[in-house]
Amino acid sequence: MRIIRTKNYDEMSRKAAAIIAAQVIHKPNCVLGLATGGTPVGTYKNLVEWYKSGDLDFSEVSTVNLDEYRGLPREHRESYWSFMHRNLFDHVNIPQDRINLPDGTNMDADAECKRYDAVIASMGGVDLQLLGIGHDGHIGFNEPSDAFDMGTHCVDLTEETIEANKRFFASRDEVPRQAYTMGTHTIMSARKVLMIVSGRDKAEIIKKAFFGPVTPHVPASILQMHPNFVLVADEDALSLV
Ligand code: GLP
């Protein structure tokens, strides 16, 4: 595990974008695993800028997103499909047919999870997986539980996650209660994992996840075992370690 400490959110975003850019330059037809949430917005902004300045070309890149709310139409402003288009896909040249997210509108959970695992397998796995972290240690939507999950599955979001994500919706009632998420095993199979974290409110969970025992009760802790894991975090997020 490698930790890159940055002064603030902006520097974290630039460093993370630089790592992703290096991946795309090294392997133009790479598979990027992408994440949503407030944290990656600045990273995507940098990638868009570098694309616009001619420094990056995404024409051969494929993407797989970590997760999607179950039951939310794609067009809903807070679907992860909309988030990704608004923040990245609408502004760079990733071919539409190489963009993959779980289909939250497919209410047949078994079929959708199988389909998504088959998509990831058909791409030969993920070269670089970008991750944020939830306050309870979740990655994607792999919530704390008694065992690590394997492939894509349907999860009931915890009260803490619903509470954290209500800021994006008009009211708490509107936050979907379920999501489809890539499993922990799939995340661990990525050839490189890049986590970005910013803010004092994440300091506690960073200490638990990366300086405490590996346990499914803190899903991110398993990344301690990943052979190529980079944590890019700002001073506030690292203030307790
Ligand atoms: C959501 C996403 C996660 C993300 C987490 C933290 O639950 N499913 O992928 O890491 O939120 O989000 P934020 O970056 O806004 O703190």
Ligand 1 pocket, CB under 6 A: 35-39, 66-67, 132-134, 140-141, 161, 165
Q: In the numeric block, which tokens belong to residue 139?
A: 């990655």
* pLDDT computed for residue 158 by the predictor: 87
CA distance 22 to 43: 13
Q: In the numeric block, which tokens belong to residue 29?
A: 């037809």
Q: Compute CA 89 distance to the chain's CA centroid, rounded to the nearest angstrom.
A: 15
The answer to whether residue 119 scores a pLDDT higher than 90 is yes
Q: Of 108, 98, 107, 65, nearest to 83 (Cα)?
A: 65
Average pLDDT for 17-42:
98
Nearest CA to ligand 1 atom 9: 140
- Judge whether 60 counts as a catalytic residue: no
Q: Are the C-beta atoms of residues 6 and 235 closer than 8 Å to each other?
A: yes
* pLDDT computed for residue 11 by the predictor: 98
* pLDDT computed for residue 83 by the predictor: 96
Query: What do you get for the CA distance between the two ends of the chain, in Å?
Result: 14
Q: Of 123, 144, 233, 136, nearest to 186 (Cα)?
A: 123
Q: Compute the chain's Rg from CA coordinates.
A: 17
What is the value of pTM for the model shown? Answer: 0.96
What are residue 76's DSSP bridge partners?
A: none
